[in-house]
Structure 1
Amino acid sequence: MSMAIDSDKAVSKNPMQRILKAFIDIRELTLLFMIAVIIIVMANLNPYFLSVSNFRALSVGMAPTAIIVIGMAILLASGGFDLSVGSVMALSSTVVAMMMLAGYSIPISVACSLVLGAAVGFSNGMLITGLGINPLIATLGTMSIARGIALVLTEGFSLSSLPKEFGWIGKASLGGFPVLVLLTLSLILIFDLAVRHTRFFRQVYFIGANEKAAMLSGIHVGRVRIIAYVLTGVLAALAGVLLASRLMSGTPTAGNGIELQVLAAAVIGGASLRGGEGTILGAFLGVVFVALINNSMTMLAVSIYWQMIVIGAVLVSAVALDMLIRGRRG
């Protein structure tokens, strides 16, 4: 009894330890603190950083990544991941432009692009759950195929002269806020609530935490994983459509390397490569963190090549931190 009392006293005498533990265990708090630090530092280094135009460009630019990271966070929670998201984004951007230029209406063109994204996601799910192919190999293959199709269809050229009405979502504003950003924030909110409160997404976490136990409890592991991959494909396709709307062109080279940024953001936000952890809010804050780093380096005139090195280092550091935290909990 006395040992328990002494232990309680020790904890009560160390409020800083409790605060530090909260920051380590609750990744969202850590990210909010780091984001605040970046903003404060950059505000002193470059007065233009806090301008409305910079934050508008920053938020619009990171919208496609924020949409894709929703699906990636869900996949990571299930114990999988998808490297084809950038290529699906490019392919959907190309297809929606080609269909409109061919005379199809905007709704039909957008719907076909989203269906195409779902088809790629379904293919990934079947390769991984049906044939047992490793997610790395399966999605690496579909990444190459999707990018190749986009390049073959356009011969490597962007498709422009799209209908003006198509640019409304990508360029319009409501109450001073870009529609694209409002749509992205709405998706983040909807999926964050869904992950926290719906039965299906709880199954995703069960599968990621212990697949065998999930199967014994009656969860259809294969079906849930396929749905997760389909959802990720649809979100990647939606990001491509929105990007085409903003740029008013279909770009077969769009999203090149975005899978690295999405993975980095999701892991930084608390998702684990081993599955069973992570939130949509945390993944979104990870996107904000990565976007702020890129924006800061651009404003400080850091070479784009160094930016790639920094993002890679951030990803490795995030995975290492995740492993250390898991070891500490164990």
Structure 2
Amino acid sequence: MVAPPVRTGLSLGRFGAMREAGLIVIILALCVAMSFASPHFATWGNVRAMLMSFSIEGIVVVGMTVLLIVGGIDLAVGSVVCFAMVVGGSMFLMGLDPWTACLIAIGASALVGAGMGFFVTVVGLNHFITSLAAMVIVRGLCLVITKGTPLSLFTLPPEFKAIGQGEFNGVPYVIIIFVVIVVLFDFLLRRATAFRKVFYTGSNEKAAEYSGIRTRQVKFWVTVLCSTLAGLAGVIYMSRFGAATPTFGVGMELNIIAAAVIGGASLTGGAGTIFGAILGIALLSVVTSSLILLDVSVYWQDMIKGCILLAAVSIDHFLNRRKS
């Protein structure tokens, strides 16, 4: 006797109920369509380039997603990525070994997050205004440190360059680092009590305070975390390209915020998943690669990305209204 396919139905039902299910279907459909539209899309070279691209940005997306869940936002992530590159590169050119220089760079990035966290939690400013000011200040620091001139770091030792350029059994180290960070923070958000406070604070800050959660501390450390991960991404970029350009990362915050929101992170806080955010950055990477292969003008590319972000924010707004 053949048992009825109850489990299959339940699995499909659960998959369809996932907010990420739509993203998965869209990404797969776009990949299939581009495989027919361009013979270069499905090649290993292009796939590897896409994986390398969104892996480093994906590290920043993880921090942004956690910050959005707590009810904040960081417009300075692109500047902080550049800041880490510039600080690490400058320290190396001054004679420090690259490992120590990069630890200092990541620490400096964390201090930027601590500064923003101070103005948000102690002074009482909102994340938007604070991070907007930090974006301009940090970008200015990059220009001051480099005097507007890119730093050439071709003398970096091979073992350090291997972080951004090396492979382990054919898999780039960048992708391995990215996967480890994604798995770690996805687990922490789902299982760790400390990270559950992030959801409680973002969902209803007053109720969280009444239940004994120190919401200011939660918001402060999440802001620091976002900047720290941006600093880590900056160090990896420096290792990959062997240079530090003071204008690097301009507009990166658009991709990062768009990816997190497309993946289900709410701009009002209290909702979001690491898995969804990674799907969001993967979708944007596929879209960017598709536009390049189809020879679409770079000006149209920016407009299309902006439209995708607007659509994602609009969908998020209507979903929140419906829940209310």
TM-score by length of 2: 0.93
Q: Which runs of 5+ in 1 are unaligned?
A: 1-14
Partners of 1:328 and 1:40 lie apart in 2 by 33
Contact (CA 8 Å) 1:270, 1:277: kept in 2 or not?
yes
Please tell me whether the aligned partners of residues 100 and 162 of structure 1 are also in contact (alpha carbons under 8 angstroms). no
Residue 321 of structure 2, aligned match among 294, 311, 327: 327
Q: What is the aligned partner in structure 2 of residue 263 from structure 1?
A: 257
1:34 corresponds to which of 13, 26, 30 = 26
Q: Deviations over 1:110-160 (max 9, x none)?
A: 110110011000011111111111211100001101111011111222111
User: Of 116, 119, 137, which residue of structure 2 is paired with 1:124?
Assistant: 116
8 Å contact kept, 2:77–2:135: yes
| Identical amino acids, percent of aligned pairs | 38
Question: Which of 149, 157, 173 pairs up with 1:179?
Answer: 173
The question of 1:280 aligning with 2:274 is answered: yes
Deviates more, 1:288-297 or 1:160-169: 160-169
Superposition pairs for residues 303-314 of structure 1, below 5 Å? 303-314=297-308
1:162 equivalent in alignment to 2:193: no
**2:6 matched residue in structure 1:** none
Partner of 1:90: 82
Residue identity opposite 1:254 in structure 2: F
2:121 is the counterpart of 1:137: no
Contact 1:66-1:184 at 8 Å conserved across structures: yes
Per the TM alignment, residue 58 of structure 1 is displaced from its structure 2 partner at its CA by: 1.0
Q: d(CA) in 1 for partners of 2:195 and 2:284? A: 26
Note closer, same or farther for the CA distance 1:228–1:86 as it changes in structure 2 (3 Å cut).
same
Question: Once the 2 structures are TM-superposed, how far is the Cα of residue 177 of structure 1 from its aligned partner?
Answer: 1.1
- The whole-number CA distance in structure 1 between the counterparts of 2:285 and 2:19 is 17
2:110 touches 2:227 (CA, 8 Å); kept in 1? Answer: yes
Matches within 5 A, 1:196-215: 196-215=190-209
Contact 1:60 1:181 in 2 (8 A): yes
Matched-pair contact (CA < 8 Å) for 2:56–2:174: no
Separation in 2, partners of 1:176, 1:51: 16
One-letter identity of the residue aligned with 2:131:
T
Shift in CA distance, 99/253, structure 1 to aligned 2, threshold 3 Å? same
**Cα distance between partner residues in 2 of 1:219 and 1:143:** 30
Kept after mapping to 1: 8 A contact 2:260/2:281: yes
